[in-house]
Amino acid sequence: MEIREYARPKSMDQAMHLICEEHGTAIGGSAWLRTSTKTVMLGVDLCDLGLEYIREFQDHIEIGAMTTYRELETSPLLDSRFGKIFRTTVSHIVGVQLRNIITVGGTVAGRYGFSDLNTTLCAIGARVVFYPNVEKDLSSFIEKGYASPFLIEKIILPSSARAAYQQMRISESDFPIINTAVAWTGTVWRIAVGSRPAATRICRNAMKILGDSANPSDEQIEAAAAETSKETQFGSDIRASANYRQKILPVLVKRALLEVRG
Amino acid sequence: MTITLYINGNEKILDCQPGDMLTEVLRKAGYVEVKKGCDTANCGACTVLIEDKPILSCSYLAVRADGKRITTIQGVAEEAKEFARFLTAEGADQCGFCAPGFALTVLSMKRELRNPSEAEIRHYLSGNLCRCSGYEGQIRAIKKYLEAVHD
């Protein structure tokens, strides 16, 4: 990527002005800059905005947009509230050196089809906060996007959930062929599917089959897993055919559901 | 643009373009021990430490590093030499191209993890590719090195 001019705003207002009024392009993790062929007239680096944090509140957890994957992976707070799902989700992504660079906000903003993390965040029921203070359901944002230039401030998670992540890859650090995350939030089951190869979607019909009990029956789990492959749209690419993805998904969903139910 | 980097303990004022990646800027400044491998955030050859954290310099904007401490393998030469003895003893180093990035990641792991298992070692080093050795010798060398330094 070629960047003609570079700015490093010190406040959210300043960053928002550069993005909205000066047509700047936000730079989050920066990991894709090297391989992109775009020319950016003004790169707005978000690294000085104090958005690297994972904070616990009484009824939710906030993750700043510039928090790195490595910080997610090594967070005792996330481990204690969500088990090992964040570690499992990001552990296949290249190496520690890349995970020290790439950010939560960059991943969410990109709405990438191959994303591991967006699938997990959607399953947990994350919400995304756009500056100044516009809150949206993350899965809705990933599906529909945002009408105007935006600046992501943070991600909001519920205070805890039992959750599991499953994926299939051709090789260890490649993009996934298909991935899924499931969560029991305490009141409902949530199932998200990503890398279809398109972006993450919620499997609403399958979620209904599981009902509102923390202990769905084996039959409910079988039926919900089968339903995910019916209600999800798949595509073909260099890694796998749509048909292959459709066959694999229920297996992964079942494994994840059994892991969470116990 | 002008940036100030603190490379291996020395202040360096360097010129760069806004879109330049750190690998290029370091190599142009003479730090050729920072290897340019895949240049697409996959191989780990370009690893340097920024504020003591391992990062891929091929995917990190040089301007973002302004004012930060950068450590290349030359900055930890004595420690790296000690580790290299274990690599040599296990026949684990061949062409040597991946070695600077690999050694920096190992030294970073040594500081971050106490008594890592083999699985943890492999996981921590999954971002460093070696096309010569097949990794087994490296894993043996790392285990022996960690045992020696923690004794």
Kindly report, residue by residue over A57-69, the tens digit of the pLDDT: 999 999 999 999 9
- The whole-number average pLDDT for the span A28-43 is 87
Q: Does B103 touch chain A (CB under 8 A)?
A: no
**Is there a single domain that holds both residue B58 and residue B31?**
yes
Residue A110 to residue A83: CA distance in whole angstroms: 26
Residue-range definition of the domain harbouring residue B106: 76-150
**Is there a single domain that holds both residue B68 and residue B122?**
no
**Identity of the residue in A3, A43, A96 whose CB atom sits nearest the CB atom of B127:** A96
Instruction: Look at residues A41, A33, A110, A244 and name the one whose alpha carbon lies nearest to residue B22.
Output: A33
**Is there a single domain that holds both residue B127 and residue B113?**
yes
**Is there a single domain that holds both residue B63 and residue B91?**
no
Split at pLDDT 50, 70, 90, the class of B113 is: very high
Mutate one of B16, B55, B108, B122 to test the A interface: name it (highest A CB count within 10 A). B55
Residue A37: per-residue pLDDT: 85
**Is there a single domain that holds both residue B69 and residue B105?**
no
Residue A80 to residue B94: CA distance in whole angstroms: 43
Residue A66: per-residue pLDDT: 98
Question: Is this prediction's pTM over 0.90?
Answer: yes
Residue A153: per-residue pLDDT: 98
Own/partner long-range contacts of A200-207 (Cβ < 8 Å, ≥24 apart): A200/A115, A200/A118, A200/A119, A200/A122, A200/A139, A200/A142, A201/A139, A201/A142, A201/A143, A201/A232, A201/A233, A202/A122, A202/A139, A203/A227, A203/A228, A203/A231, A203/A232, A203/A253, A204/A231, A205/A230, A205/A231, A206/A231, A206/A253
Q: Does B116 touch chain A (CB under 8 A)?
A: no
The structure tokens listed for A252 are 């992964």
Residue B44: per-residue pLDDT: 96
CB contact under 8 A, A4 and B126: no
- The C-alpha R_g of chain A, in whole angstroms, comes to 18
Of B25, B42, B74, which residue sits at a domain end? B74
Residue B1: per-residue pLDDT: 93
**Is there a single domain that holds both residue B13 and residue B63?**
yes
**Is there a single domain that holds both residue B92 and residue B130?**
yes
Kindly report, residue by residue over A195-244, the tens digit of the pLDDT: 999 999 999 999 999 999 999 999 999 999 999 999 999 999 999 999 99
Task: Flag whether the ipTM exceeds 0.85.
Answer: yes
A-contacting residues of B 26-55, CB under 8 Å?
A: 39-42, 44, 47, 53-55
What is the CATH number for B40?
3.10.20.30
Kindly report, residue by residue over A96-143, the tens digit of the pLDDT: 999 999 999 999 999 999 999 999 999 999 999 999 999 999 999 999
Kindly report, residue by residue over B71-83, the tens digit of the pLDDT: 999 999 999 999 9
Domains of chain A: 2-45 (no CATH), 54-158 (3.30.465.10), 170-261 (3.30.390.50)
Query: What is the DSSP secondary structure assignment for residue B61, as one 8-state letter?
Result: B
Residue A239 to residue A221: CA distance in whole angstroms: 28
Mutate one of A96, A114, A169, A175 to test the B interface: name it (highest B CB count within 10 A). A96
Q: Does B58 touch chain A (CB under 8 A)?
A: yes
DSSP β-ladder status, A189-194 and A201-202:
antiparallel
Is residue B109 a contact partner of residue B116, using CB atoms and an 8 Å limit? yes
Q: Which residues of A touch B17 (CB under 8 A)?
A: 3
Q: Which residues of B touch A45 (CB under 8 A)?
A: 61, 63-64
**Is there a single domain that holds both residue B93 and residue B65?**
no
DSSP β-ladder status, A176-184 and A189-194:
antiparallel
Q: Is B66 exposed, middle or buried (CB count within 10 Å of its CB: 0-12, 13-18, 19+)?
A: middle
Q: Which residues of A touch B42 (CB under 8 A)?
A: 94, 173
**Is there a single domain that holds both residue B57 and residue B81?**
no
Residue B150: per-residue pLDDT: 79
What is the CATH number for B84?
1.10.150.120
Residue A152: per-residue pLDDT: 98
**Is there a single domain that holds both residue B41 and residue B56?**
yes
Residue A81: per-residue pLDDT: 98
pLDDT at residue B64 is higher than 90: yes
Write the CB contacts of B97 (distance below 8 Å, at least 6 apart in sequence): B35, B37, B45
Of B21, B47, B74, which residue sits at a domain end? B74
Percent of chain A with pLDDT over 90: 93
Q: Is A139 exposed, middle or buried (CB count within 10 Å of its CB: 0-12, 13-18, 19+)?
A: buried
Size of interface A-B (CB pairs under 8 A): 81
**Is there a single domain that holds both residue B32 and residue B81?**
no
Of B74, B97, B119, which residue sits at a domain end? B74
Number of domains in chain B: 2
Split at pLDDT 50, 70, 90, the class of B84 is: very high
**Is there a single domain that holds both residue B110 and residue B89?**
yes
Split at pLDDT 50, 70, 90, the class of B26 is: very high
